[in-house]
Structure 1
Amino acid sequence: MHIVVLAEFAVASGGAEKVAVESARGLAEAGIDVTYLQAIDGPADPLLDHARIRRIGLGNTDIWTRPAHRAALDGLWDAAGAARLGAALDALPVRPDLIHLHQWTRSLSPSVFSALFARGLPVAATLHDYFLACPNGVYYRFDTAAPCTLKPLSASCIAAPCDGRSRLHKLVRVGRSVALRTALKEHPLDLIHVCDASVARMGALLTGPGFTHHRVDNPVRVEKGPPADPARGEAIAYVGRLTREKGADLVAEAAGAAGLPALFIGAGPLEASLRARPGVEVLGWQAPDAVWDILRHRARAIAAPSRWYETGPLTVYEALANGLPVVASDRSGACEKVVDGVTGFTVPPEPEALTRAFAALGDADRAERLGAAAHARYWAAPSTLSAHAAALIAVYERILAARGAPRRESGRIASAA
Structure 2
Amino acid sequence: MHVAILTNFATPKGGAEKVAIESARGLAERGVAVTLVHGVDGPADPMLDHPGIRRVGLSLTDVWERPAWRGAVEGIWNREAGRRLEAALAALPDKPDVLHLHQWTRALSPAIFPVLARSGLPVAITLHDYFLLCPNGVYYRFDRAEPCTLRPFSPRCLAASCDPQSRVHKAVRVARYFAQWTALARNFDRLLADRARVSDSSIDPRPIDIVHVSDGSRARVERFVRGVSFLRHHRIDNPVRVAHAAPADPASGDAVAFVGRFTREKGADLVAQAAHQAGLPSLFIGDGPLADDLRAVPGAEVLGWRAPSEVEALLRRRARAVVAPARWLETGPLTIYEALAAGIPAVASDRAGAGEKIRHGETGFLAAPEAGALAAIFSRLKDDALVRDLGKAAHARYWEAPMTLDAHAAALCALYAGMTGAAEAPSFQRSAVM
Query: Which TM-score band (shorter chain)?
Result: over 0.9
For 2:279, the equivalent position in structure 1 comes to: 259
Cα offset, 1:16, TM superposition: 1.1
Unaligned 5+ residue runs, structure 2?
189-206, 427-434
Partner amino acid, structure 2, of 1:180: Q
For 2:52, the equivalent position in structure 1 comes to: 52
User: 2:237 matched to 1:191?
Assistant: no
Partner amino acid, structure 2, of 1:375: H
Deviations 1:296-325 (A, max 9, x none): 001100000000000000001000000000
Q: Distance in 2 between matches of 1:118 and 1:215?
A: 26
For 1:83, the equivalent position in structure 2 comes to: 83
Cα offset, 1:13, TM superposition: 2.8
Q: Distance in 2 between matches of 1:116 and 1:216?
A: 22
Unaligned 5+ residue runs, structure 1?
410-417
User: 2:395 matched to 1:395?
Assistant: no
Partner amino acid, structure 2, of 1:374: A
Q: Distance in 1 between matches of 2:223 and 2:291?
A: 36
What percentage of residue pairs aligned between the two structures are identical? 60
Cα offset, 1:121, TM superposition: 1.0
8 Å contact kept, 1:97–1:407: no
8 Å contact kept, 2:209–2:233: yes
Cα offset, 1:206, TM superposition: 2.2
Candidates 362, 387, 390, aligned match of 1:370: 390
Deviations 1:12-35 (A, max 9, x none): 232111111110000001110000
Deviations 1:104-138 (A, max 9, x none): 00011111111111111111000000000100000
Deviations 1:228-284 (A, max 9, x none): 100000100000000000000000000111110000001000001111111000011
So what's the TM-score if we normalise by structure 1?
0.96
8 Å contact kept, 1:129–1:137: yes
For 1:223, the equivalent position in structure 2 comes to: 243
**How many residue pairs end up in the alignment?**
407
After TM superposition, the runs of 4+ consecutive aligned structure 1 residues lying more than 3 A away are 405-409
Candidates 164, 181, 205, aligned match of 2:224: 205
8 Å contact kept, 1:2–1:408: no
Q: Which moved more, 1:63-72 or 1:329-338?
A: 63-72
Cα offset, 1:64, TM superposition: 2.1
Q: Distance in 2 between matches of 1:125 and 1:319?
A: 27
8 Å contact kept, 2:417–2:423: no
8 Å contact kept, 1:136–1:173: yes
What SS class does the counterpart of residue 231 from structure 1 fall into?
helix
Cα offset, 1:406, TM superposition: 9.9
User: 2:133 matched to 1:114?
Assistant: no
What SS class does the counterpart of residue 287 from structure 2 fall into?
coil
So what's the TM-score if we normalise by structure 2?
0.92
Partner amino acid, structure 2, of 1:370: L
Q: Distance in 2 between matches of 1:143 and 1:274?
A: 21
8 Å contact kept, 1:301–1:326: yes
For 1:271, the equivalent position in structure 2 comes to: 291
For 1:160, the equivalent position in structure 2 comes to: 160
For 1:140, the equivalent position in structure 2 comes to: 140
Greater RCO structure (CA 8 Å; 6+ sep): 1
For 1:29, the equivalent position in structure 2 comes to: 29
Decide whether aligned partners of structure 1 residues 406 and 377 sit closer, same or farther in structure 2, where only a CA change above 3 A counts.
closer
